[in-house]
Structure 1
Amino acid sequence: MTARLEHANFTVADPDATAAWMCALFGWHVRWSGAAMQTGRTVHVGTDTAYLALFSPGDPAKPTDDNYQTIGGLNHIAVVVDDIAALEDKVTAAGFTPINHADYEPGRRFYFHDGDGIEYEVVQYD
């Protein structure tokens, strides 16, 4: 049996706001939302088979280290799309800045950071 990824859970400032832009950009939907530990809130956003759990303890601390230098740090989250140019237009319209464009075998990619500083990679395989 091969394991499959069901979800990843990470901390954001506003789970509802993050879920809203993810739904608008990625075509996802909110699967569940509600109270969470530490008097916080969690929103599960994604597809019917996989999702991201967006958690906020209510008053999250700001990151202080470069995640690429921190053991256990979140480096980036990647999504695969069928039309990278269309998604880049949506990313820009949402107020995010696409960066680090690259073509590579077997596809193309770019990155952007959200309002919490989390990095996202967008990939289209040819």
Structure 2
Amino acid sequence: MPYLEHVNLTVRDPERTAALMARLFGWHVRWSGPAQMGGRTVHVGDDRCYLALYTLEGEATPAERFVKGRPFNHVGVLVEDLDAIEARVVAEGLKPFSHGDYDPGRRFYFLDYDGSEFEVVSYR
């Protein structure tokens, strides 16, 4: 069965964002190094799928590269314990929003350091 192997996101500081994802979701850095077309990339995830966190400009990356909906709306992450992940998000100083209970699960959203939106969902 096909599955989503990775999502590539532009970030200002791949190591910082990778560390956040590791603290929130228990992921690990699978690879890091120079990007094929310049800049650098960190792959963070589990053994099956990951986020490729890319930067070319680093801290000089223009703010317009991080506008919601351009180039995507959000990344969805399925978790078992939604409340535990939300507590980690809050502990990082990030703000959960748009909580929802729906059939068959629950969810909330948060923005990372660069304004990329994540949906965290649980079907338990």
Residues 4 and 121 of structure 1: CA distance in aligned 2, closer, same or farther (over 3 Å): same
Task: Work out the CA distance in 2 between the residues paired with 1:53 and 1:19.
Answer: 9
Q: Which residue of 1 aligns with 2:32?
A: 33
**Structure 2 residue 24 is matched with structure 1 residue 7:** no
TM-score (normalised: structure 1): 0.89
Q: Which sections of structure 2, spanning at least 5 residues, go unmatched? A: none
**Structure 2 residue 48 is matched with structure 1 residue 55:** no
SS at match of 1:87: helix
Percent identity reads 52
Number of residue pairs aligned between Structure 1 and Structure 2: 122
Residue 38 of structure 1: CA displacement? 5.0
Contact 2:68 2:117 in 1 (8 A): no
- Runs of 4+ aligned structure 1 residues displaced above 4 Å come to none
Residues 60 and 76 of structure 1: CA distance in aligned 2, closer, same or farther (over 3 Å): same
SS at match of 2:85: helix
Contact 1:34 1:43 in 2 (8 A): yes
Residues 92 and 65 of structure 1: CA distance in aligned 2, closer, same or farther (over 3 Å): closer
Contact 2:29 2:43 in 1 (8 A): yes
TM-score (normalised: structure 2): 0.91
Q: Which residue of 1 aligns with 2:15?
A: 16
Task: Work out the CA distance in 1 between the residues paired with 2:81 and 2:66.
Answer: 34
